[in-house]
Amino acid sequence: MQDNIESHLTENRVFAPPPEFAANARIGSMAEYQRLYRESIDDPEAFWSREARELLWRREWNRVLEWKAPFAKWFIGGQINVSENCLDRHLTGGRRNKAAIIWEGEPGDRQTLTYQQLHREVCRFANVLKRNHVAKGDRVIIYMPAIPEAAIAMLACARIGAVHSVVFGGFSADAIRDRIADSGATALITADGGYRRGAVVPLKRNVDDALRGTSAAAGSVKRVIVFRRTGNDIHIEEGRDVWWHRELEYVDGNCEPEPLDSEHPLYILYTSGSTGKPKGILHTTGGYLLGIYSTTKYVFDLREDDIYWCTADIGWVTGHSYVVYGPLACGATTFMYEGAPNWPEPDRFWRIIETYGVNILYTAPTAIRAFIRWGNEWVKKHDLSSLRLLGSVGEPINPEAWMWYRDVVGGGRCPVVDTWWQTETGAIMITALPGAIPQKPGSATLPFFGVDAAIVDEQGEEVPANAGGKLIVRKPWPSMLRTIYGDPERFEKQYWSEFKGRYLTGDGARRDEDGYFWIVGRIDDVLNVAGHRLGTSEIESALVSHPQVAEAAVVGRADELKGQAVVAFVTLKSGIEAHQELKRELREHVGKHIGAIAKPDEVRFAEALPKTRSGKIMRRLLKEIASGKSVTGDTTTLEDFSVLATLSGSEE
Ligand code: WTA
């Protein structure tokens, strides 16, 4: 992190938008950006009403915003349906037979769905949901590979007003079980399996494990709908499980979109916070749709004939907002790919771009750093001249990776937009607008319309230029989270209490003399590993659930490839001997409880964890130890931190 700040301070390259790009862009100059930004802050209601009128409302709102901090309502009295805006709205004009989704599976199979076809599939599947007693307001878990049917399932839920909660396909049975229990989901949509690096991920088996026994989850889910993707053998539980393709035989393609109140819940997406339990971030209908519509339109500056590719999995918020809802709300062609970037070889992405003529690429710094490591020859083998815009999301991008992305992938001609946002914010918050805002490698640049971002010190006072502090947002915005599902107190405490009535992002940042934001990263107990959010306490509770573990503390350490790596300090119950095999077992244990992404990169056994006199684990000290010279892989001797703790004094 510190390294990041320093390289930022020496970073002074500025790339103005290419004139041809600016000439055709929706926002084509800094003056235009500033004029609209000013309006969006001074008169947000006028700005957002104008944007909202580009969407299809079933009933017009009578008030734009009701703000009783920290609870916001947008477009009160208005009725709208997200699926109607993403589909039906595009059927009357020339987009009817335009590709909505172009998809490639990892084995190389392909599918294209036009707006008309996608509309029909969503209507049919919405009827399948109804047939299986899924009604407006019901919660539905979606646990699927990145296939068009995942988007169809999401849109079908939105069409009938059911609330989806997508669980990333890399998460384990335990994670599914927790999310079902917390959301009270009554139905679950999954697939027999998905492909990853040539192997089949046994999705249905994980679902079966999650629903085994007499847990709250098992009692909650009445129906499991299974899409056949891989054709592997699976168990079908009579009376509970049905096949997607069989169900389609009973329905037709007519399903009117349900007119929903603007504040009707659209989805719950679980994300890691600083406690052991993931938070169910709740997004609602009208404001969220407006936020992702408006950001997709201005940030990616879509042209009617663009092919746009966001490489995120639908299990993360980026997949929700910028694979499915944002591009479809804009009537764009969204490209989806199921598998790994290095399968079968490290040029899969570049092959796809060349084959389909992708124009806009939106990916993560972790992927970019992996591409750098795999070597330029993989990129150079392919004609990437169709690309005209590049985007980055999920973690801070180091200036070197930014430059490589711009030069090697973008051929030096494509603007690069570094977009900062979060599951909670729903839509992009800080970003360059490609035709207007000059880019500095490593900076997310300036706030999007309506975003009143600031950097403050511990007292909540805005800090001067180039001083570090906490990133906050001072005004409500349309796509903001509405609450933590079922826990409004935690919502208030977590985000709105440190600086009353202002949104705490959990990120540290600074603003330079031009007002540009430089995001340093999380300053709470959340790690960002390869662009995936993980709570240290979530991993700790997984570790202590192992019968031989007494105590665990998890910290992050800088990692060249993944941004951060997970280091676990573990003390064992008395009489248990530390050994190499146990390290492996603990890593697997965490994988089983959360998912492979959470497995510690390093497990270190300690005699005792360093603690303050009041018994708090000295995390700052552990972070320093973790980032120091790493112990060799096979050391299993117990480390003794008590001396260090004494040396560094108490840390309250
Ligand atoms: C980090 C992903 C720097 C940040 C959309 C944030 C970033 C967390 C950027 C949210 C960026 C995301 N530059 N850091 N452009 N984008 N982050 O909820 O720490 O999975 O708080 O949402 O990722 O992660 P989440």
Question: Does pLDDT of 282 surpass 70?
Answer: yes
The pLDDT score that the predictor gives to residue 628 is 80
- CA-nearest residue for atom 12, ligand 1, is 394
Would you say residue 648 has pLDDT above 60?
no
Nearest residue (CA) to ligand 1, atom 10: 422
Our mutation pick for probing the ligand 1 site, out of 317, 507, 510, 526, counting the most ligand atoms within 8 A of Cβ, is 507
CB distance 451 to ligand 1 below 6 Å: no
What is the whole-number distance in angstroms between the Cα of residue 370 and the centre of ligand 1?
A: 18
- Ligand 1 lined by 310 (C-beta under 6 Å): no
Cα separation values, 394 from 320, 362, 367, 418, 526, Å: 14, 11, 11, 9, 13
Ligand 1 geometric centre to CA of 364 (Å): 10
For the CA of 431, the nearest atom of ligand 1: 15
* Tens-digit pLDDT profile for residues 43-82: 999 999 999 999 999 999 999 999 999 999 999 999 999 9
Q: And the tokens for 254? A: 């007519």
Q: Describe the strand order of the beta sheet including 79-80 as a list of residue ranges.
A: 57-59, 79-80, 260-261
Q: Is the minimum distance from the CB of 312 to ligand 1 under 6 angstroms? A: no
Closest-lying ligand 1 atom to the alpha carbon of residue 392:
15
Tokens 């599947």 sit on residue: 125
For 201-217, how does the pLDDT look when each residue is reduced to its tens digit (9 = 90+)?
Answer: 999 999 999 999 888 88
Q: Residue 650 pLDDT more than 50? A: no
Structural domains of the chain ordered from first start: 19-78+280-519 (3.40.50.12780), 83-247 (3.40.50.980), 527-649 (3.30.300.30)
| Mean predicted lDDT score pLDDT of the chain | 94
279 lines ligand 1 (CB under 6 A): no
Q: Does the CB atom of residue 435 touch ligand 1 within 6 A?
A: no
Q: Alpha-carbon distance 532 to 564, whole Å?
A: 10
Which helix (H) or strand (E) segment holds residue 496: the answer is helix 488-496
Residue 616 pLDDT class (50, 70, 90 cuts): confident
pLDDT band at residue 637 under the 50/70/90 scheme: low
Q: How far is the CA of 74 from the centre of ligand 1 (A)?
A: 24
Predicted pLDDT at 626: 92
Amino acid at site 292: I
> Is the Cβ–Cβ distance between 534 and 550 less than 8 Å?
no
What pLDDT is recorded for position 250?
98
Nearest CA to ligand 1 atom 11: 420
**Is the separation of the CB atoms in 45 and 64 below 8 Å?**
yes
The answer to whether 181 touches 210, Cβ cutoff 8 Å, is: no
Q: Sorting pLDDT into bands at 50, 70 and 90, what band is 457?
A: very high
Predicted local distance difference test score (pLDDT) of residue 491: 97
* pLDDT surpasses 70 at 647: no
What pLDDT was estimated at residue 448? 98
The predicted structure's pLDDT at residue 2: 40
For β-strands 389-393 and 333-337, DSSP reports them as: unpaired
Going by pLDDT thresholds of 50, 70 and 90, the confidence category of residue 638 is low
536 Cβ below 6 A of ligand 1: no
Residue 645 has pLDDT above 60, yes or no: no
Average pLDDT over residues 366-384: 96
- Among 191-200, 532-541, 605-614, the least confident range: 605-614
- Give the residue with greater pLDDT, 520 vs 630: 520
Q: What is the structure's pLDDT at 629?
A: 53
Top pLDDT among 159 and 609 is at 159
- Is the pLDDT score of 631 beyond 50? no
Distance 227 CA to ligand 1 centre (A): 32
What is the pLDDT, as a whole number, of residue 275? 74
Give the number of residues written for the chain.
652
Closest Cα to atom 13 of ligand 1? 396
CA neighbours closer than 13 Å in the CB half-sphere of residue 215: 19
Q: Could you give the angle at which helices 44-52 and 30-42 cross, rounded to 10 degrees?
A: 110
Q: What confidence score (pLDDT) does residue 5 get?
A: 42
Q: State residue 39's pLDDT score.
A: 98
Which ligand 1 atom minimizes the distance to the CA of 423? 18
Percentage of the chain with pLDDT > 70? Answer: 95
CB under 8 Å, gap of 24 or more: what pairs does 98-101 form?
A: 98/331, 98/333, 99/307, 99/333, 100/328, 100/333, 100/334, 101/148, 101/151, 101/333, 101/334, 101/335, 101/336
Provide the pairing of β-strand 194-196 with 199-201: antiparallel
Q: Atom 22, ligand 1: which residue's CA is nearest? A: 422
362 CB less than 6 Å from ligand 1?
no
Pocket test for ligand 1, best of 299, 421, 440 (most atoms within 8 A of CB): 421
- Ligand 1 centre to CA of 336 (Å) is 21
317-331 tens-digit pLDDT:
999 999 999 999 999
**Which amino acid is located at 293 in the chain?**
Y
Residue 519's pLDDT is what? 96
Per-residue pLDDT at 632: 43
Q: What does the pLDDT look like over 74-115, one tens digit per residue?
A: 999 999 999 999 999 999 989 999 999 999 999 999 999 999
CA 353 to chain centre: 23
Q: How far is the CA of 363 from the centre of ligand 1 (A)?
A: 12
For residue 274, pLDDT beyond 90: no
| Residue 649 predicted with pLDDT over 50 | no
pLDDT of 634 higher than 80: no
Cα 331 to Cα 249: distance, rounded to the nearest angstrom: 29
> If you measure from the C-alpha of residue 527 to the centroid of ligand 1, how many angstroms do you get, rounded to a whole number?
11
Q: How many angstroms separate the CA atoms of 106 and 427, rounded?
A: 28
pLDDT of res. 636: 57
pLDDT tens by residue, 157-213: 999 999 999 999 999 999 999 999 999 999 999 999 999 999 999 999 999 999 998
Averaged pLDDT, 291-301:
98
Express as a percent the part of the chain with pLDDT over 90. Answer: 87
CA distances from 220 to 99, 177, 497 (A): 38, 10, 34
pLDDT at 651 over 50: no
The pTM of this model reads 0.92
Take atom 8 of ligand 1 and give the residue whose Cα is closest.
422
Q: 394 CB under 6 A from ligand 1?
A: yes
Contact present, 467 and 518 (Cβ < 8 Å):
no
Give yes or no for residue 396 CB within 6 A of ligand 1.
yes
Query: Is there an atom of ligand 1 within 6 Å of 508 CB?
Result: no
Return phi, psi of residue 225, to 5°: -105, 125
Q: Mean pLDDT across the stretch 623-643?
A: 65
The protein residue whose alpha carbon is closest to atom 25 in ligand 1 is 422
For ligand 1, whether the C-beta of 444 sits within 6 Å is yes
- pLDDT for 646 beyond 60: no
